Amino acid sequence: MATATAPGKIILVGEHAVVYGRPAIAAPVWQRVATATIEPAAPGDGCSLHARDVELDIHLRTARDDEPLAVVTRLALAQLGIEQEPDWRIKLHSEIPIASGLGSGAALSTALVRAIFRQLGREAEPAQVSSLVYESERFYHGAPSGIDNTVVAYGQPIWFVKGREIEPFTPSVPLTIAIADSGVRSPTKATVGDVRRAWQREPARYESIFDAIGELVCAARRAMEVGDLPALGQLFDANQTLLESLDVSSETLHRLVAAARRAGALGAKLSGGGRGGNVIALVEEDAVDAVSGALYTSGAQQVIVTRIGAEAR
């Protein structure tokens, strides 16, 4: 029996613009993981995948070509030179809410790839996992930048530019981030598609918003390098304003962002695809309780506090 886990993720700054070649910074969230477990099945049963959380029960040999978890299983087996379908029962479980901007799809696929390698006596390299998962991410997202699969497969904070070599990145002082789930499910594929259509209609306007986000991400990196948390908080706020101008925020997200700021957060923004999903707030340690409380009072379904650059896995 082999088992493997993979973390959720947040985008600290730069979502959406990252699809258009601008940089972004992302970090894993180890407090919520996806797990894949492989058990032997009866001889001749073939390979089946079961995920109760998403009501998935499929057999590899009959699964559709656009089923992401079947796609990633087939790709991993092919990469390992396995031509005959193994007799496996694969159980998948995720603590990461789906369509919430926390990378649930990427985490499930990553755990799955790692478990398949392990079951065959191999350890998968992060780069190998990341590229296999990217293939399946295309089904969740349409045209993903690759940031989700990369941060989840590497399991550490990253500076990411599409198509470039990945750069692990650790802030010089730990960042305390409160992550609030709005409870509104919003598939990333939909917001990425809407931004693409808007960009096609008004390329100059959207390119200039993407440029502004790219500059802000560079400034956020400098703030993290020198440990200037107030400056980083302001950059979170500025990023939120630009995401609003991309029309990927919502009343609910706006309310959570405003509540976090009022309760003493250094800055707050949506994280991921937007319209629903999660809001992240940069907080000082002594404001964690006040900010978490305010987020719950304003309707957050759940608040997770994560420390980036400080917590070991």
The single residue among 4, 6, 7, 11 that binds ligand MEV, judged by CB under 6 A, is: 11
Choose between 88 and 140: whose C-beta lies nearer to ligand MEV.
140
Q: Does 108 participate in binding ligand MEV (rule CB under 6 A)?
A: no
- Least separation in angstroms between residue 45's CB and ligand MEV is 36
At residue 163, the 3 state secondary structure works out as: coil
- Check 53, 57, 87, 148 and give the catalytic one: 148
The binder of ligand MEV chosen from 144, 155, 171, 214 (CB under 6 A):
144
Q: Kindly state whether residue 148 participates in binding ligand MEV, applying the rule CB under 6 A.
A: yes
Q: Determine the interface stretch with ligand MEV among 139-147, 207-215, 229-237, 301-309 (rule: CB under 6 A).
A: 139-147
What type of residue sits at position 74? Answer: R
Window of 11-19, 43-51, 70-78, 299-307 that interacts with ligand MEV by CB under 6 A: 11-19
Question: Between 16 and 32, whose beta carbon lies closer to ligand MEV?
Answer: 16
Coil vs helix vs strand at 111: helix
Residue closer to ligand MEV (CB basis): 58 or 209: 209
Name which position in 115, 147, 180, 209 contacts ligand MEV (CB under 6 A): 147
Q: Of 92-100, 140-148, 176-184, 289-297, which segment contacts ligand MEV by CB under 6 A?
A: 140-148
For position 141 contacting ligand MEV by CB under 6 A, the verdict is: yes
Q: Closer CB to ligand MEV, residue 9 or residue 114?
A: 9
Q: Is 172 exposed, middle or buried (0-12, 13-18, 19+ CB in 10 A)?
A: exposed
Regarding 19 and contact with ligand MEV (CB under 6 A), the answer is yes
Q: What residue has token string 């390329």?
A: 203
Q: Is 181 in the site for ligand MEV (CB under 6 A)?
A: no
Closer to ligand MEV at the Cβ: 141 or 221? 141
Q: Show Cβ contacts of residue 133 under 8 Å, excluding neighbours closer than 6 positions.
A: 72, 106, 109, 110, 113, 149, 152, 153
Tokens 């509104």 map to which residue? 184
- Confirm or reject binding of residue 151 to ligand MEV (CB under 6 A): no
Determine whether 247 is an active site residue: no
Least distance in Å: CB of 143 to ligand MEV?
Answer: 7
7 lies in the site for ligand MEV, by CB under 6 A: no
What are the tokens at 270?
Answer: 């949506």
Distance in Å, CB of 290 to ligand MEV, minimum: 28
Q: Can you give the binding site for ligand MEV, defined by CB under 6 A?
A: 11, 15-16, 18-19, 141, 144-145, 147-148, 188, 192, 272-273
Show which residues are catalytic. Answer: 148
